C-alpha cells in the first residue's frame, strides 16, 4: 500500500521535474496508464501481484522504446478493498489525471462501480480478471475466463470424480450470485443436482455451522466460489473438521490469489480448479516470464492467475496502440477488434471482436503440494456465454451486464 | 429575541457566501463538497447530542438510509427532487419509530448507545446480504456488497436533463449547509429548543414541570436524523455510488469524534470538527508515513484527556478572556461536563 | 441422533465463543465500570501475538495461553496508566477515549503487520461423531470457556484477592481506609481484563483470518452480551451468552450465518427493551 502512494508521489515528482526539462530531452508527453487495484485490505492477495505484473509490463514496454516513441507513465491508486473508493479514484483518474487507459478493478463489484464512469468519460477500460461473464459494453475489454470457459469445463470433470449431488458455497455479491447460477446450470446439464446453495458475505469467517449443515445434506461434491481473505478460513475449517477426505472440493476462485500457497498441503491437496494460468505450466513463455518477474520483483512464487491476466491485458492494449499508431480511443478499439492477439505467459490471447472478451487456453488442474498440477488442457476456448447474448458489432451502444436466468 | 435571530441569519448568510467564494481558491471543489456534507452530518449529531443530550452511536444509520433512499428512488423516479425529499423523510420516520421505542421505554444512556449501535449493525448486515436478484425495490437492485452504482444524480428541479455537478454542486451543498445551520439556530431559539436544553440538563425537573420529555426527545432525535438523511442524499450524489459501508461502525465513530473535537453544545463546533478532521484525513491519505486511523485515534484520546470540551468552546473562552468581554445573554449554552458526568449515575 | 449431538456441539461452541469474546470486557465493565471499546483490538493484538510467536517457532499452545495474554495484559497496563486512570467515573469519556485507542491500535497494527490477512492452522484435528465430522478445535473452545468461567468464579468468591477486589468496587473509600490502594486494584483489574481479551483473541485466531480491523467484528457482540447480561459478572455473562448463542446458532442452522447474526442483534434489542437492566438486573439478583 505504502509503496503505491509513494510511487504516485515520486511519479508526480518525476513528472514535475520532467516538465522543467526541455521538450527535446523528454521527446514528448508520456502516455498515461491508470491503474486502480486493491493493494491493501482483505483483497490485497489479489491486488498486490496484479500491481507488480502491471509494473513489469510497463517497464518492459518502456525498455523496448515505449509506445509511439513516448514513455508510459503509471498513475496508480490503492482502493484499500473499499468499493466506495473505486468511484472516487475512478473519477480522479478520468477527470483530474486524464489518463489514456485504465486497467484495474478486481471484484466484480469494483468493476461495476467504475465501468459507467469510464464509459461516460470515454476512457478505454481493461478489466483483467476472471469473472461471471455477460458484460456487454464497447468501452471495456475483458481477458479473464468466463463461466463458459471455466465452469463448463470444471463441473463435468469434478462430478466425474465424485458424484451427482453438488453443494454450492458462494460469495455474496454479483460474482458469487451469478457464478452460482452458472454452476447450477452446468450441474443440471451434466445430469446432476444442486442440493444446496449458500451465500456468504465477504467478511464471514466462521463456517462451523455451515460445515455441519453440509454434512446433514450429504452431497458428493462441494463447489466453492468463495472470495477474499476471510473466506480462506473455509478451506482451513473444512480440513480441520476432517471433511477433506470425505467430500471432494472444487472451486472457481481458490488459487486465483495463490490461496493454495497459504494453505498447508494437507489443507489444499486435491481441490479441483480450472484456470488460464498456473505457475506449473512448463512452457518456454511461462519460464521466461517467471525469470523476468524474478529479476524485477524477486519472488516469482507471487505470480497468480489474475496477475498474469493483468500483464496480458496491458500487453494487449500496448499491441493495439502500436497497431493503431495512435492513442485515440476509436482507433485503439478498431485495432483491438481486428482479431488482435498476443502470446502471453499463459498462451495465446485473442480479442473476440463481438464481445470484447478473450479467446484463451483453459487448464483443468488439481492442487498438489501447494502447486497446481495440470490435468487437462483445453486450447483456445471461446467465451460462448457472453457471445450468446452480446454482439457489439451489431449493437455498439449496448451497455448491460447480461445475467443467466434459471 | 427575534432581533438576535435576524442577526444570526445575516451572519450565517455572509459567512457562507464568503466561504463559497474563497475556499475553492485554496482546495478543490470535489473535496470541498464532501467537507460540506460531512459538516452537515456533524451538525446533525451535534444537535441531537450536544443540545438534546442523546448520545447516538448510530448516526451513520440515518446517513446511510438517506443515501440509499435517494439512490433507490432516483432509479425508480429518474428526476431527483422527490428522491431528495424522501432522503430526508425516510430516516426521519425511521428515527421517530426507533426513538419512540427507546424513549418510551425510558432506557438509560448506555442502553441507548447499545441499541443505536445494534440497529446500525443490523442495517449493515441486512443491506450487505442483498446481492441476490430477488432483492429489488421497483427497478432498483439493492446489490448487497456491490452497493448501488449508476443512479441519476441531482438535477435542477423539474428539468431531469440539467445535472448539477462540479463547482455548481459544491455551491448547492454549501448553501444547503448554511440553510441547515440557520434552521438549527432558529430551532434552538424557539421554545422547543430551550426546553430540549432543559431536558438535557435535568430530565426529571422538566418532566415535573409538565413537559412530555419522551415525545420531545423523540422529535429531537427525528430532526437530527432528517439532517443526517439530507447529508446522506447529498453524499450519494457526490460519490455516485452507495455501499453498505455507509452503515459501518467506523462511520458512526467518526461522527462522534467530529463532535468531540469540534465542541459539544455549540453549533459551529461539530461543523468545523467534521470539515477539519475530514480534511486532515484527506491530507493523511496522501502520505504513507503514518497510518490514518492511528492519527484519528490519537486525536480523539488526546481531546478526551486534555480538551474534553472541544476546540470551539476553548477558543471562544480564550477569545473572550483575551478581549476582556463577558458572556452576554445569547444562546450560549452552558458548557457541558455536568451532563456527561451525570451519565455515570 | 448423531445430528443432534453435532447441533448441540455447534450451539455450545456458539455460546462458548461468546463467553470468550465477552469475558475481558465483562470484567472491566463489571468491576470498574469502564466500557473498553478497544476490547476488540486487544483481541486482535492477542491474535497477532500468537501468530508472531508461532512463526518464531514457539509451541502454538504456549503462544496462545501464555504469551498472548501476558503481552496484551501489559499493553492494557500501559493504557490504564496513561489514559484510563484519568477517566475513572466518567463512563462516556472512557468509551470515547477507548474508541480512540481502538482506532490507534488498528493503525499501529496496520503499520507493523500490513493491511493483509494472516492466519495459522488449527492445532487439533477433526474427529467423527457417528456419521458426522466435527472440528476438534470447537471442543477446545468449549472447554476453555468453561474453565474460564470456573476460574473467574473461584477467584472472585474463593480468594482474598477476589474479596478485596469486590470490596473495592463497592466502596473504594472503605477499602482505602482498610489499607488497600484502590488505584492498584483498578490497575490490576484492568490488567486481568486485557489479558483475558488477549487470550480470547489468541484462542480464536486459528479459526479466522486475521486483519488489523478484525477487532471490529467482536466488539459489538461483546458489548451487547455484557450489557444484556446486567450487573452480575459471571451469571450475567453466562445467561446472556447462552441466550444469544442459542438464538444465533439456531437461526444459522435454519437459514444462513447472516440471518443468524441479525437474529442475535434483534434479540438484543428486544431484550434490552423488555429488561433495560439486563438479564441479571431482573433475575439472579445478587449473584456474582
Cβ pair B105:C273 closer than 8 A: yes
Residues A89 and A137 reside in one and the same domain: yes
Most confident range (mean pLDDT) of A19-33, B204-218, B293-307 is: B204-218
Residue B334 sits at the chain C interface (C-beta within 8 Å): no
pLDDT the model gives residue B160: 84
Residue B201 lies in a domain: yes
Residue of C96, C99, C111 with shortest CB distance to B294: C111
pLDDT value for A358: 96
Residue identified by cell 480462506 is: A232
Cβ within 8 Å, pair A113-B241: yes
A298 in the Ramachandran plot: left (φ > 0), alpha (ψ -120 to 50) or beta?
Answer: left
Does residue A79 sit within a domain?
Answer: yes
Which of the residues C2, C206, C251, C257 would you substitute to probe the A interface, choosing the one with the greatest number of A C-beta atoms within 10 Å?
Answer: C257
- Write out pLDDT tens, residues B69-78: 999 999 999 8
CA dist., res. A302 & res. B66, Å (int): 43
Partner residue opposite B145 with nearest CB, options A91, A116, A173: A173
- pLDDT of C166 over the 90 cut: no
pLDDT at B252 (0 to 100): 86
Greater confidence (A13 vs B140) lies with B140
What is the pLDDT averaged over residues B279-304? 82
- Which of A198, A233, A251 delimits the end of a domain? A251
Q: Which helix (H) or strand (E) holds A23?
A: helix A23-26
Query: B64, B75, B144, B148: best mutation site toward chain A, by most A Cβ within 10 Å?
Result: B144
Q: What are the pLDDT digits (tens) for A124-176?
A: 999 999 999 999 999 999 999 999 999 999 999 999 999 999 999 999 999 99
Q: Compute the nearest-CA separation of A307 from chain C (Å).
A: 17
- Cα–Cα nearest to B253, from B106, B5, B41: B41
| Domain annotation covers residue B253 | no
Where does residue B338 rank: exposed (0-12), middle (13-18), buried (19+ CB within 10 A)? Answer: exposed
Question: What is the helix (H) or strand (E) element at residue B133, kind and residue range?
Answer: none
Shared domain check, A393 and A333: yes
Q: Compare CB distances from C257 to A45, A204, A216 and report the shortest one's residue.
A: A204
Per the structure, the complete domain to which residue B152 belongs is given by 2-248
Asked if residue B1 has pLDDT above 60, the reply is no
User: Domain tally for chain A?
Assistant: 2
Nearest to B270 by CA among B49, B14, B65, B6: B49
Chain B positions in Cβ-Cβ contact with residue A82 (cut-off 8 Å):
245
- Alpha carbon C135 to chain centroid distance? 22
Q: Is the pLDDT of residue B343 over 80?
A: no
| Closest alpha carbon within chain C to A243 | C133
Q: How does pLDDT run across B27-41, given as a tens digit for each residue?
A: 888 889 999 999 999
B partners (3+ CB pairs within 8 A) are A, C
Proportion of chain C above pLDDT 90, given as a percent: 42
Residues in C closer than 8 angstroms to B281, CB to CB, are none
The count of C-alpha atoms lying within 13 angstroms of the C-alpha of C234, restricted to the half-sphere facing its C-beta, is 16
Find chain C residues with C-beta within 8 A of A172's C-beta. 258
Nearest CA in chain A to B240: A87
CB atoms within 10 A of CB A287: 12
pLDDT, tens digit, 9 for 90 and up, residues A311-347: 999 999 999 999 999 999 999 999 999 999 999 999 9
- Using alpha carbons, list the distances in angstroms from residue B56 to B187, B277, C99: 20, 20, 14
Q: Decide the pairing of beta strands A399-401 and B136-137.
A: unpaired
Average pLDDT of chain B is 87
Q: Cβ contact (<8 Å) for C107 and B290?
A: yes
Quickly tell me which residue has 524485477 as its cell: A296
Write down the ipTM of this complex.
0.85
Higher pLDDT among residues A7 and B59, named by residue:
B59
**How far is Cα B147 from Cα B127, in angstroms, rounded to an integer?**
9
**Is C227 in contact with C272 (CB distance < 8 Å)?**
yes
Q: Is B304 on the interface with C (CB under 8 A)?
A: yes
Nearest CB to A87: which of B128, B132, B239?
A: B239
Q: Is residue C126 part of a domain?
A: yes
- Tally the domains of chain C: 1
B145 contacts A172? CB cut-off 8 A: yes
Chain C residues whose CB is inside 8 A of the B122 CB are 262, 265-266, 269
Residue A168, min C-alpha distance to chain C (Å): 13
Q: Comparing A31-35, A73-77, B130-134, B336-340, which segment has the lowest mean pLDDT?
A: B336-340
Judged on CB neighbours under 10 Å (0-12, 13-18, 19+), B279 is: middle
Residues of B in contact with A403 (CB under 8 A): 133
The residue range of the domain holding A33 is: 2-145+281-360+381-401
pLDDT at C85 over 50: yes
| pLDDT exceeds 70 at position C69 | yes
pLDDT at B295 over 90: no
Q: Cell numbers 475556499 correspond to what residue?
A: B23
Which residues from A are below 8 Å from B286, CB to CB?
Answer: 5, 9
Q: A232 lies in a domain?
A: yes
For residues A183 and A56, membership in a common domain is answered with no
> Is there a single domain that holds both residue A160 and residue A131?
no
B 11-50: CB under 8 A from C = none
pLDDT over threshold 70, residue B332: no
pLDDT at A283: 94
Q: Tell me what the mean pLDDT of segment A81-87 comes to.
A: 84
| 8 Å CB contact of C207 and A237 | yes
B146 vs A108: CB contact, 8 Å cut-off? yes
Range list of H helices, chain C: 2-32, 39-55, 60-62, 68-82, 91-113, 136-158, 160-170, 172-177, 182-204, 215-229, 233-254, 257-274, 279-282
Does residue B281 belong to any structural domain of this protein? no
C197-220: average pLDDT = 87
Assess whether A73 and A139 both reside in one domain.
yes
Residues of chain A positioned with their CB less than 8 A from the CB of C124: 240
CB contact under 8 A, C107 and B305: no
Q: Which of A201, A229, A251 is the last residue of a domain?
A: A251
Q: What percentage of chain B has pLDDT greater than the value 70?
A: 92
Helix residue spans in B202-336 (DSSP H):
203-208, 213-239, 249-262, 268-284, 292-306, 311-323
| Helices marked H in B23-80 | 29-45, 59-77
Q: Is B257 on the interface with C (CB under 8 A)?
A: yes
Question: Which residues numbered 192-251 in B keep a CB inside 8 Å of some CB on C?
Answer: 249-250
Asked if B52 contacts B199 with a C-beta cutoff of 8 angstroms, the reply is yes
Looking at residue C190, what is its pLDDT? 94
**Mean pLDDT value of segment A224-239:** 88
Please report whether residue C110 resides in a domain. Answer: yes
Residues A6 and A137 in one domain: yes
A178-199 mean pLDDT: 94
Q: Based on the domain organization, do A19 and A129 belong to the same domain?
A: yes
Predicted local confidence at residue A27, as pLDDT: 42
Give residues with Cβ within 8 angstroms of C114, minimum separation 6.
Answer: A1, A40, A44
Question: What does the alpha-carbon distance between residue A100 and residue A75 come to, in Å, rounded to a whole number?
Answer: 10
Yes or no, beta carbons of C119 and A262 under 8 Å apart: yes
Q: Does residue A365 or residue C157 have the better pLDDT?
A: A365
Question: Which residues in A lie closer than 8 A to residue C117 (C-beta atoms)?
Answer: 42, 44-45, 228-230, 232
Q: Is the pTM of this model over 0.90?
A: no
Q: Is B252 on the interface with C (CB under 8 A)?
A: no
Label residue A16 by pLDDT band (50, 70, 90): very low
Same domain for A13 and A109, yes or no, is yes
Q: What is the pLDDT confidence band of residue C285, given thresholds at 50, 70 and 90?
A: low
For residue B102, CA distances in Å to A200, B52, B95, B99, B111 come to 32, 15, 10, 5, 9
Q: What is the mean pLDDT of residues B298-327?
A: 82
Asked if residue C207 is part of any domain, the answer here is: yes
Report d(CA A104, CA B285) in Å as an integer: 20
Question: What was the pLDDT predicted at A9?
Answer: 42
B134 within a domain of the structure (yes/no): yes
Q: Which residue has the higher pLDDT, C196 or B250?
A: C196
What mean pLDDT is predicted for residues A292-316? 94
B131 interaction partners in chain A (CB closer than 8 Å): 172-174, 176-177, 199
pLDDT at A320: 96
- Across residues A290-309, what is the average pLDDT? 94
Give the nearest chain B residue to A1 (CA atoms).
Answer: B288
Greater confidence, B201 or A406?
A: B201
- Residues A141 and A21 placed together within one structural domain of the fold: yes
> Backbone phi, then psi, for A371, in 5-degree steps?
-130, 170
**What pLDDT score does B333 carry?**
46
Residue B336 has pLDDT above 80, yes or no: no
- C-alpha distance from residue C142 to each of A237, C128, C135 (Å): 16, 17, 12
Asked whether the beta carbons of residue B297 and residue C104 sit closer than 8 angstroms, the reply is yes
Lowest mean pLDDT among A194-198, B326-330, C266-270: B326-330
Q: Chains meeting C at 3+ CB pairs closer than 8 A? A: A, B
pLDDT score recorded for residue A45: 87
Residue A7 pLDDT: 46
Cell of B182: 440557520
pLDDT score of A160: 94
Task: Give the pLDDT band (50/70/90) at residue B300.
Answer: confident
The pLDDT of residue B213 is 93
Q: Say if residue A15's pLDDT is above 50.
A: no
Residue C115 has pLDDT above 90, yes or no: no
The average confidence (pLDDT) of chain A is 89
**β-sheet bridge partners, residue B141:** B136
The CATH number for A388's domain is 3.40.50.2300
Number of domains in chain B: 1
For residue C288, the model assigns a pLDDT of: 66
Residue C143 is part of which domain span? Answer: 2-212
Average pLDDT for chain C: 88
Mean pLDDT is lowest, of C64-73, C109-118, C219-228, for C109-118
Per-residue pLDDT, averaged over A92-96, amounts to 88
Amino acid at each position: 500500500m505504502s509503496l503505491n502512494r509513494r510511487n504516485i508521489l515520486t511519479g508526480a515528482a518525476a513528472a514535475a521535474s520532467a516538465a522543467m526539462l526541455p521538450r527535446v530531452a523528454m521527446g514528448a508527453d508520456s502516455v498515461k496508464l491508470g491503474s486502480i487495484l486493491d493493494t491493501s485490505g482483505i483483497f490485497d492477495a489479489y491486488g498486490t501481484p496484479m500491481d507488480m505484473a502491471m509494473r513489469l509490463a510497463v517497464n518492459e514496454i518502456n525498455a523496448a522504446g515505449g509506445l509511439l516513441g513516448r514513455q508510459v507513465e503509471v498513475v496508480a491508486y490503492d482502493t484499500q478493498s473499499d468499493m466506495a473508493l473505486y468511484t472516487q479514484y475512478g473519477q480522479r483518474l478520468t477527470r483530474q489525471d486524464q489518463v489514456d487507459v485504465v486497467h484495474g478493478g478486481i471484484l466484480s463489484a469494483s468493476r461495476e462501480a467504475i465501468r459507467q464512469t469510464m464509459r461516460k468519460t470515454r476512457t478505454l477500460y481493461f478489466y483483467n480478471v476472471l469473472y461471471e461473464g455477460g458484460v456487454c459494453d464497447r468501452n471495456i475489454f475483458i481477458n479473464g475466463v468466463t463461466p463458459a470457459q471455466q465452469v463448463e469445463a470444471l463441473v463435468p470433470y469434478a462430478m466425474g470424480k465424485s458424484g451427482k449431488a453438488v453443494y454450492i458455497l458462494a460469495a455474496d455479491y454479483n460474482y458469487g450470485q451469478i457464478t452460482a447460477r452458472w454452476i447450477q446450470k452446468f450441474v443440471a446439464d451434466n445430469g446432476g443436482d444442486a442440493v444446496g446453495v449458500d451465500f456468504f458475505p465477504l467478511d464471514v469467517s466462521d463456517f462451523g455451522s455451515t460445515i455441519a449443515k453440509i454434512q446433514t445434506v450429504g452431497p458428493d461434491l462441494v463447489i466453492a466460489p468463495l472470495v477474499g481473505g476471510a473466506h480462506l478460513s473455509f478451506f482451513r475449517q473444512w480440513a480441520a473438521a476432517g471433511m477433506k477426505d470425505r467430500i471432494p472440493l472444487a472451486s472457481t476462485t481458490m488459487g486465483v490469489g495463490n490461496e493454495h500457497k497459504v494453505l498447508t498441503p494437507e489443507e489444499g491437496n486435491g481441490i479441483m480448479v480450472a484456470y488460464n494460468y498456473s505457475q506449473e505450466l512448463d512452457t518456454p513463455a511461462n519460464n521466461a516470464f517467471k525469470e523476468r518477474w524474478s529479476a524485477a520483483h524477486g519472488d516469482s512464487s507471487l505470480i497468480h492467475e489474475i496477475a498474469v491476466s493483468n500483464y496480458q491485458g496491458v500487453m494487449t492494449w500496448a499491441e493495439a496502440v502500436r497497431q493503431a499508431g495512435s492513442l485515440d480511443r476509436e482507433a485503439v478499439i478498431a485495432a483491438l477488434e481486428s482479431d488482435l492477439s498476443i502470446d502471453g505467459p499463459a498462451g495465446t490471447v485473442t480479442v473476440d471482436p463481438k464481445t470484447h472478451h478473450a479467446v484463451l487456453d483453459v487448464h483443468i488442474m488439481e492442487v498438489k503440494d501447494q502447486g497446481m498440477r495440470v490435468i487437462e488442457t483445453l486450447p483456445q476456448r471461446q467465451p460462448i456465454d457472453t457471445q450468446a447474448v452480446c454482439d457489439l458489432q451489431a449493437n455498439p451502444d449496448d451497455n448491460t451486464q447480461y445475467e443467466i436466468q434459471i | 429575541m427575534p432581533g438576535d435571530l435576524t442577526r444570526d441569519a445575516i451572519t450565517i448568510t455572509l459567512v457562507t457566501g464568503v466561504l463559497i467564494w474563497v475556499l475553492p481558491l485554496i482546495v478543490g471543489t470535489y473535496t470541498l463538497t464532501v467537507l460540506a456534507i460531512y459538516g452537515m452530518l456533524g451538525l446533525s449529531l451535534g444537535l441531537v447530542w450536544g443540545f438534546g443530550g442523546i448520545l447516538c452511536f448510530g448516526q451513520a444509520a440515518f446517513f446511510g438510509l438517506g443515501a440509499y433512499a435517494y439512490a433507490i428512488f432516483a432509479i425508480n423516479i429518474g428526476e431527483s427532487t422527490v428522491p431528495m425529499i424522501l432522503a430526508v423523510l425516510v430516516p426521519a420516520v425511521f428515527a421517530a419509530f426507533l426513538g419512540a421505542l427507546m424513549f418510551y421505554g425510558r432506557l438509560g444512556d448506555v442502553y441507548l448507545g447499545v441499541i443505536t449501535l445494534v440497529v446500525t449493525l443490523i442495517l449493515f448486515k441486512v443491506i450487505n446480504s442483498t446481492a441476490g436478484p430477488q432483492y429489488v425495490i421497483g427497478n432498483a437492485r439493492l446489490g448487497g456488497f456491490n452497493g448501488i452504482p449508476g443512479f441519476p444524480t441531482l438535477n435542477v428541479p423539474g428539468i431531469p436533463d440539467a445535472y448539477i455537478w462540479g463547482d455548481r454542486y459544491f455551491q448547492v451543498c454549501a448553501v444547503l449547509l448554511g440553510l441547515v445551520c440557520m434552521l438549527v439556530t432558529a430551532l434552538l431559539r424557539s421554545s422547543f429548543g430551550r426546553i430540549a436544553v432543559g431536558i438535557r440538563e435535568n430530565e426529571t425537573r422538566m418532566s415535573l414541570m409538565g413537559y412530555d420529555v419522551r415525545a420531545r426527545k423523540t422529535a429531537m432525535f427525528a430532526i437530527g436524523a432528517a439532517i443526517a438523511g439530507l447529508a446522506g442524499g447529498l453524499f450519494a450524489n457526490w460519490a455516485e455510488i452507495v455501499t453498505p459501508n455507509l452503515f459501518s461502525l467506523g462511520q458512526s465513530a467518526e461522527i462522534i469524534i467530529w463532535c468531540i473535537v469540534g465542541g459539544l453544545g455549540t453549533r459551529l463546533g461539530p461543523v468545523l470538527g467534521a470539515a477539519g478532521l475530514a480534511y486532515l484525513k484527506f491530507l493523511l491519505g496522501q502520505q504513507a508515513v503514518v497510518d490514518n486511523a492511528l492519527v484519528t485515534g490519537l486525536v480523539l484520546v488526546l481531546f478526551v484527556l486534555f480538551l474534553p470540551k472541544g476546540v470551539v468552546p476553548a477558543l471562544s473562552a480564550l477569545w473572550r478572556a483575551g478581549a476582556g468581554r463577558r458572556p452576554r445573554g445569547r444562546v450560549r449554552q452552558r458548557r457541558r461536563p455536568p451532563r456527561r458526568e451525570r451519565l455515570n449515575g | 441422533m448423531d445430528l443432534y449431538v453435532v447441533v448441540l456441539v455447534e450451539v455450545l461452541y456458539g455460546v462458548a465463543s461468546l463467553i470468550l469474546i465477552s469475558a475481558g470486557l465483562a470484567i472491566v465493565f463489571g468491576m470498574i465500570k469502564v466500557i473498553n471499546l478497544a476490547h476488540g483490538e486487544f483481541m486482535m493484538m492477542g491474535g497477532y501475538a500468537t501468530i508472531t510467536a508461532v512463526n518464531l517457532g514457539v509451541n502454538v499452545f504456549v503462544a496462545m495461553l501464555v504469551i498472548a495474554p501476558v503481552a496484551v495484559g501489559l499493553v492494557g497496563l500501559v493504557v490504564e496508566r496513561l489514559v484510563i486512570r484519568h477517566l475513572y467515573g466518567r463512563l462516556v469519556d472512557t468509551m470515547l477515549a477507548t474508541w480512540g485507542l481502538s482506532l490507534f491500535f488498528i493503525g499501529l497494527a496496520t503499520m507493523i503487520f500490513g493491511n493483509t490477512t494472516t492466519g495459522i492452522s488449527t492445532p487439533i484435528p477433526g474427529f467423527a461423531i457417528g456419521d458426522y465430522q466435527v472440528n476438534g478445535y470447537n471442543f477446545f473452545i468449549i472447554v476453555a470457556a468453561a474453565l474460564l468461567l470456573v476460574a473467574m468464579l473461584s477467584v472472585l468468591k474463593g480468594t482474598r484477592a477476589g474479596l478485596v477486589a469486590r470490596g473495592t468496587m463497592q466502596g473504594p473509600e472503605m477499602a482505602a481506609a482498610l489499607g488497600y490502594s484502590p488505584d492498584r486494584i483498578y490497575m490490576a483489574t484492568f490488567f486481568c481484563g486485557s489479558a483475558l481479551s488477549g487470550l480470547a483473541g489468541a484462542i480464536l485466531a486459528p479459526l479466522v483470518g486475521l486483519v488489523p480491523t478484525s477487532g471490529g467484528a467482536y466488539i459489538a457482540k461483546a458489548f451487547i452480551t455484557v450489557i444484556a447480561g446486567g450487573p452480575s459478572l459471571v451469571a450475567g455473562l453466562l445467561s446472556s451468552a447462552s441466550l444469544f448463542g442459542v438464538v444465533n446458532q439456531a437461526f444459522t442452522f435454519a437459514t444462513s450465518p447472516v440471518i443468524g447474526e441479525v437474529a442475535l442483534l434483534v434479540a438484543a434489542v428486544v431484550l434490552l427493551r423488555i429488561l433495560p437492566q439486563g438479564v441479571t438486573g431482573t433475575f439472579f439478583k445478587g449473584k456474582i
